[in-house]
Amino acid sequence: WILYEKPGFEGRCIALEEERVTDLPNEWAEEGEETSAPVVIGSIRLAVRDYTPPRIELFTEPAGRGRSFEYVDDTEEVGSFGRPQNTGSIKVHSG
């Protein structure tokens, strides 16, 4: 999976691999700037297509806590459909 800073798969990006829940510091913060605010994700894209159904889960809090939102395909704008964009941690189940 690849996380993009802005909707429409634009801006800076972060590549993720399958693993346990990953706390996500604010990668978009300027260098040297300290922030505890969760990262805002604009869009999500599946990077590798394999034979397992892709699935990624975004949590509003670190360590897999808080509200979770599951995605199974490219999502051009994460903030759509009334879902928040703030993400404290991520779990890549497959894909």
CATH value at residue 49 = 2.60.20.10
With the C-alpha atoms ordered 14, 53, 57, 90, is the resulting torsion angle positive or negative?
Answer: negative
Domain of residue 28 covers: 2-94
pLDDT tens digits, one per residue of 61-78: 888 899 888 999 888 888
| Non-local CB neighbours of 70 within 8 Å, separated by 6+ positions | 55, 56, 57, 58
**In the chain, how many domains are there?**
1
Per-residue confidence band for 83, with pLDDT thresholds at 50, 70 and 90 = low
pTM as predicted:
0.63
Averaged pLDDT, 6-34: 76
Q: Does residue 82 register a pLDDT over 70?
A: no
Mean pLDDT calculated for residue range 69-95: 80
Q: Which residues pair with 86 in a beta bridge?
A: 40
Instruction: Please choose, from the candidates 49, 52, 39, the residue with its C-alpha nearest in 3D space to the C-alpha of residue 78.
Output: 39
Burial of 84 (0-12, 13-18, 19+ CB in 10 A): middle
Residue 65 CA to its chain's centroid (Å)? 14
**pLDDT given for residue 20 in this prediction:** 66
pLDDT in tens, 28-62: 666 666 666 667 888 889 887 677 888 999 898 88
